[in-house]
Amino acid sequence: MAANGGRLGSSCRMFLGPNTVETMTGLRLTTLLTVSAAALTLAACGSAEVASPGEGDFGGGTGGGGGGGQNPPPPGTPASDCPTGFANVGLIANNTLRVCQLPQQISGALTVPLRAGTIYSISGRTEVGTDRGLDPNAPIPGSSQGILTIEPGVRIFASGGSDYLIVNRGSQIFAEGTATQPIVFTSRQNVEGTTGENSHGQWGGLVIAGRAPQANCQLTAPVTCTGTVEGTSAFYGGNTPADNSGRIRYVQIRYSGFEISSGNELQGLTLAGVGSGTTIDHVQVHNSSDDGIEIFGGNVNLRHLVITGADDDGLDTDTGWRGGAQFGIVTQRPPNATSRSAAFEFSAAPASIPLASRYVSQPKIANFTLVGRNSPTNAHTVAHFDTGTDATVINSVFTNVAGSASACLDIADADTETSLPTFTSVYMSCGISYRPGSSAARSEAVFTAGTGNTPTGASTLTAPTGTSLNNQVLTFINGANETAVTPANAPAVYPFFTATTYIGAVQNASDTWWQGWTCGLTSGANC
């Protein structure tokens, strides 16, 4: 089968014996990257989920795919070489892994294959394609398209803040892991085993730029609307709401985020002008030094998000995002000298444009559980909405750690109160419901204008034994108080949503969508 994968044929079968491979997410990278030959057989079968790469359709192009005929090395020893298209840059993890570096410019089709004794790296700004412009029917002359495919179980690391991966407009990424073989983007320190609960900001992150509408230049004709992605010089935006940048499924992004300059940061995952044709499903961002996920404009929809330990915001939306997100767990780290902000920070910049003319953000949120910071002051909130963002939040839980002085909700300005965000079937339980000060009255007015909401009261969230992160006990499984809330009809609010009979991210202890492919949320599943 071609290395970039076609549909899984019925003749492709394998047997994994009981001692073949240990559970991948429960071990440090130095152990879990010693992959058996049987696992490689599975990778060679390809992914049953992989479809045509879309625009440009390179078909069966293999790029650097496949193992290049390599005989799998014995467990615990490095591969002898790298696949075609990758640079051999030495060994890591006590010389147990061969480091194969991606090219900084990826044009055409490139597959990153799962191979025994192999780990991959990026160095500097690593680009998939070059910017092809905002019009898919008139690409920039001389620009190139890239299609990057990453096989399940692959690990990719970077060494510093200026190392990041960006998928440019008109190109695509297909990073599709599985529930038992997630794809992991991480730092060199994590591979070397030196990261801890408070490690963050060790490399740049993953950036995807698309051609969907955004607000930064809304007063010009949409077809000429281009913005620059925060933390990069890459362009994003256009007039293609259903733009397709590929698929990201069962992926972890660890220890990322980097401040290029004041107010100009890379996040764990940055989605800029990404269209609704793109799939983002089962993604964890762990210990980003800035936001976990930040969405700038676009119409992308997301499902099954886990954001743990972000030093700034968990999910940050800006510049006119008009998509939806359902099923999400956001757990905030305790505040330290640099930590700030909220589990949700939703904005609708640019605020310089009068609200009536502003292309405001319209995020649609369902079935999230937010566990805010254990903060000694009210400088932090669980959810913060500003600059006229017109959010719709249903079937969700806002809470924080017992004893925290942070508030649950802040409707920060009059423009946002005028936009009147909608809260329906939201259970809110913090020691302080609304951030004290000038915004408290409008926060209460907006929240209580909704239906089925519970603004105060003790939470009875429960958690599996041993669930902890960043030195605080985290709880996100519904208890009696949350179960008593009647959920709204989610698909009637936004067709992308799935109907549920409960509020919050997780119905009960039997609802384990967040287990297996994540790290840091269950005992033994270390990041």
- Of the two residues 386 and 227, the one the predictor is more confident about is 386
**Cα(143)–Cα(61) distance, rounded to whole angstroms?**
19
Higher pLDDT: 43 or 476? It is 476
Total H helices, total E strands in the chain: 7, 32
User: Looking at residue 430, what is its pLDDT?
Assistant: 84
Position with higher pLDDT, 357 vs 249: 249
CA terminus-to-terminus distance, the chain: 33
- Which percentage of the chain shows pLDDT scores above 70? 76
Cβ–Cβ < 8 Å for 194, 221: no
Tokens of 139: 């690409």
Residue 379 has pLDDT above 90, yes or no: no
Report the alpha-carbon distance of residue 161 to residue 380 in Å, rounded: 26
Mean pLDDT value across residues 467-489: 71
Look up tokens 């390179």; give the residue: 58
Backbone angles phi, psi at 222, to 5 degrees: -55, -30
Q: How is residue 81 written in tokens?
A: 């070489």
Reported confidence tier of residue 22, pLDDT bands at 50, 70, 90: very low
